Structure 1
Amino acid sequence: MTRTAQQLFGAAAVASFKLNGQFLTIAEELAKPSGITVAWWQVLGAILHEPLPVAGIAREMGITRQSVQRIADVLAGKGFVEYRPNPAHRRAKLVAITEAGHDAVRAIDPQHAAMAERLVAQLGTAELTRVVDALTTLSAALEALEGDATAD
């Protein structure tokens, strides 16, 4: 049976909503022993390699600036991040991970690695690579469509 574009779009949306829920459930279990939430992990993950302004984290993670700001403020209060001056923008400070933030993320690594191995055992490396590539392509296409929609 050939599906219409609308049916395919709907099926992709439903599958991605379910997948998002599954990832969040797994991530909660992975993050729990380190004492951080999935939302905190998400923000810390966005700045693991370089400090970013709140808006940059929001773009990277696909969440709102307001949500990121609230989380960043909590993380700063707990010593997991710090605000630094941003040479590119006087008012938009950079959010930088601290050593305590790195420690919290590192505490997740053993469970994260074990779950990754279980998934690779289930799918195989080649299939998981194909899935990741397809999801990345779908995300880029939707991002391009968002840009088209705002240009109208």
Structure 2
Amino acid sequence: MPTSSPAAQTLTDLVLTLFRVNNAMLVRGDRLVQPFGLTSARWQIMGAIAYADQPRPVAWLARDLGANRQNVQRIVNELEKEDLVAFQANPRHKRAQLVVLTASGKSAYDQAVEVWYRAADELATGLSQEELAMSVQVLRTIRSRLTADDTAEGDEPG
């Protein structure tokens, strides 16, 4: 087995734990949002739409989520068929339509968020605000380092 630094070993433990937490969160998320006709994947995309400062095309949503554009497009198309999102003309790009939540999409998303905040309070029990904030900072730093090559190439979606 190759030798590694203590920091690399600890980071590896963090990444393996993160994979397990992600899988568990997807299962829990699916259960939480199922009553609103959502899945974790749909909920994530709707969250990216809801939190964007302005309507975005699918490519930008995928970038914001760190997800595959084709997968996001497939889910957005499903959401559009169920009247949870709609497409709007993009004045800056003829083919890359903007994605927005419909009234029923906003309602489903808001209900999911309300249920999530109750679950989040339970999950946060026993963890301090400082511990949670440090965890967020560490994960943001790692994400930034992982995606630095992508932004260095100037791959800005249109």
Q: TM tier, shorter chain? A: 0.7 to 0.9
Offset of 1:4 from its aligned partner?
A: 4.9
Structure 2 partner of 1:40: 42
Structure 1 partner of 2:55: 51
2:120 to 116, 121, 130: 116
Unaligned runs of 5+ in 1: none
Q: Within 5 Å, which residues of 2 pair with 1:22-37?
A: 22-37=24-39
Offset of 1:8 from its aligned partner?
A: 4.4
Which aligned segments of 4 or more residues in structure 1 are displaced greater than 6 angstroms? none
Structure 1 partner of 2:68: 64
What is the identity, as a one-letter code, of the residue corresponding to 1:120?
A
Change (3 A) 1:94 1:120: same
Query: What root-mean-square deviation, in Å, do the aligned CA atoms of Structure 1 and Structure 2 show?
Result: 2.1
2:99 alignment partner, SS class: strand
Deviations 1:73-120 (A, max 9, x none): 111111011111111111111111111111001111332111121122
Q: Percent identity?
A: 34
1:106 to 105, 110, 126: 110
After TM superposition, the score normalised by the length of structure 1 is 0.86
More helix per residue: 1 or 2? Answer: 1
What is the identity, as a one-letter code, of the residue corresponding to 1:31?
V
Structure 1 partner of 2:22: 20
The number of aligned residues is: 149
| Structure 2 CA distance for aligned equivalents of residues 5 and 123 of structure 1 | 23
Change (3 A) 1:146 1:5: farther
Structure 1 partner of 2:12: 10
